[in-house]
Amino acid sequence: MPNDQTPAPSSVLTGPLVVALAYDRLCTFEFGIAVEVFGLSRPEMGSGWYRFAVAGVDDGLMRATGGLTFTVDGGLDLLQQADLIIAPGWRGMDEPVPDALCAALRAAHQRGARVISFCSGVFVLAASGLLDGRQATTHWRYTDTLHQRFPAIHVTPDVLYVDTGMVMTSAGTAAGLDLCLHIIRHDFGTGAANSVARRLVLPAHRDGGQAQFIQQAVPRPHESSRLGPLLDHLRRTLGTAHTVETLARRVSMSRRTFLRRFEAATGTTPARWLLTERLNRARTLLETTPASIEEIAVVAGFGSAATLRHHFRQVLGVTPGAYRAAFGTPDQPSARA
């Protein structure tokens, strides 16, 4: 029987076939994310869990970052069978994407396969034309280049991932994990996503975007003693009304200084940060409790069910009831959704 670090034998599984692309000068970490999430043995998930295979883009010996060489399960013909295809980074923004790969991706997508990218893998999807007219994201270092080279793509630079249905893209490398957990939640439910997240020692879902990482991810040392406890306080009191003035007084700053330093530390405004945290709390309650929408709205700090529904639709594109139906535990009473 395989151990936790052994790729799952696809022959005993019946779930969706995930095919990760591999190429010469492979981005090792991004590829490792695909293997870690979809390619390891997870007997607790049953026989319906994902099958996994690696498709080689190039002929002959292929190398990976770090001095590794590797073999693959097959060539681009594997894409004809895939349910989910992963482009785990690309070897360089200025490196051309082979026409054969672009054609294979378009054919697979037309057949009904989902296609996703991690980080710079977005350039593979862009070259294939699958992102034309769609929203997409990538690492913040590449967003300007992506926009300039592929103006038909609606580049969204400040999110962790974008899901447009059959085509999905993630931001910087680690955001690929967020996208993978999102896919698991869609395919197998919240319980499965939570189980995989626990094994990865990750939160089941992170809110917010990558703007917080662009300039400064951690408050300056002389501010952390004030802003850190403030953020903890806000998380404990999401159901309380907060204003910029009261928050600034709490950390002994002027309003102007507080707003400037809060955004430098978090990458967003206090209002937007609170909204994200409140949505996160509401999502957790919808997933794990039978509480009514009205009760959740109060606990999470929205005040009313109407306000909660408004922000859910605006930010997540669904109603709280639809979200609970998709991600809640099976024994939750649907009448209260």
What Rg do the C-alpha atoms of the chain give, in angstroms?
Answer: 22
d(CA 115, CA 16): 13
Give Cα 76 distance to the centre of its chain: 26
Amino acid at 99: D
Q: Which of 81, 76, 97, 94 is nearest to 21 (CA)?
A: 76
Do residues 322 and 184 make contact, with C-beta atoms less than 8 angstroms apart? no
Do residues 247 and 271 make contact, with C-beta atoms less than 8 angstroms apart? no
Residue with tokens 């038909």: 152
Residue 35 vs residues 5, 30, 86, 87, 88: alpha-carbon distances, Å: 10, 9, 10, 12, 10
Active site residues: 119
- Is 119 buried (19+), middle (13-18) or exposed (0-12) by CB count in 10 A? buried
